[in-house]
Structure 1
Amino acid sequence: MNLIVSQVNGCNYCLSAHTVFGKINGFTDEQILELRQGYFSTNEKFDALVKVAKAITINKGKFDDTILEDFFNVGYSKETLVDVILAVGDKVVMNYLHKLTQIDIDFPVAQELELIKS
């Protein structure tokens, strides 16, 4: 979730940090790039989660019914949706903080991607 939210918000610090954390947690470079683009081709639960996080960020909480249906159909609950909304909100605040303060990136800089559009 942190990768897609940071990608949408254009926060290079958070993208760089979460790319490193993703690699530490076993994600491949290709998987990290997929997450930053808003999907995950090898796991339907991760895919549904990332799509919901992207929708929350881009559409400011408005959901396409299909995205929510997919989220619930892979086993997530309404309680999990609340957790996702809170996690996205927290990451948005951190993205804004890093963009405002322009803290030096102290991780390997994440590869550039075209900005995510809705």
Structure 2
Amino acid sequence: MAFQNAKSSLSGKAREVLNLVVSEVNSCEYCLAAHTVIARSAGFTDEQILEIRSGKASFDAKLDALARLTRNIAVNRGHADQSLVDAFFAAGWTKGNIVDAIVVIGDKTVTNYLHGTTRVPVDFPAAPKLDT
């Protein structure tokens, strides 16, 4: 919780993009359920949440760059494709934003692994399955 509540250069919506993408990559049922609820309260529609989970956000160019880079970082365990890093900065994000994004990615990975290992019961409505 310390990481989730820490001061950040990222908006709540941007943090939810990170949380949803990483939780999808890590197949964390608990975090997907919880962050689907939180993302709705942050103003995302159900359709947008599903798209974000797939690693895109075509409805917002800046969030799209964030989602694409986040998925790439999570899938490649921190070894980001330079073209996605460049696109992130071209979309208007800063060096401070990338540091804060990586902190959120790390924090979410830890909580995903905690659930994957402990199998704490999910006490949120289940997130819909993502069509692949």
TM-score (norm 1): 0.93
For residues 63 and 102 of structure 1, the distance between their equivalents in structure 2, rounded to whole angstroms, comes to: 30
Amino acid in the other structure paired with 2:39: G
Match of 1:78 in 2: 95
Runs of 4 or more, structure 1, over 2 Å off, are none
SS across alignment from 2:129: coil
Aligned-residue offset at 1:113: 2.0
Match of 1:102 in 2: 119
Q: Which runs of 5+ in 2 are unaligned?
A: 1-17
Match of 2:42 in 1: 25
For residues 120 and 113 of structure 2, the distance between their equivalents in structure 1, rounded to whole angstroms, comes to: 11
For residues 31 and 102 of structure 1, the distance between their equivalents in structure 2, rounded to whole angstroms, comes to: 27
Structure 2 counterparts to residues 38-117 of structure 1, below 5 A: 38-113=55-130
Q: Deviations over 1:30-68 (max 9, x none)?
A: 000000000001101100111111111101111222211
For residues 33 and 113 of structure 1, the distance between their equivalents in structure 2, rounded to whole angstroms, comes to: 7
Q: Which runs of 5+ in 1 are unaligned?
A: none
TM-score (norm 2): 0.83
For residues 101 and 43 of structure 2, the distance between their equivalents in structure 1, rounded to whole angstroms, comes to: 22
Aligned-residue offset at 1:76: 0.9
For residues 96 and 61 of structure 1, the distance between their equivalents in structure 2, rounded to whole angstroms, comes to: 16
How many residues were matched structurally?
A: 115
Aligned-residue offset at 1:114: 5.2
Match of 1:3 in 2: 20
Aligned-residue offset at 1:80: 1.2
Give the percent of matched residue pairs that are identical in Structure 1 and Structure 2.
Answer: 48
RMSD (Å), alpha carbons: 1.1
For residues 27 and 79 of structure 1, the distance between their equivalents in structure 2, rounded to whole angstroms, comes to: 24
Cα distance change of structure 1 residues 42 and 114 upon mapping to structure 2, 3 Å threshold: closer
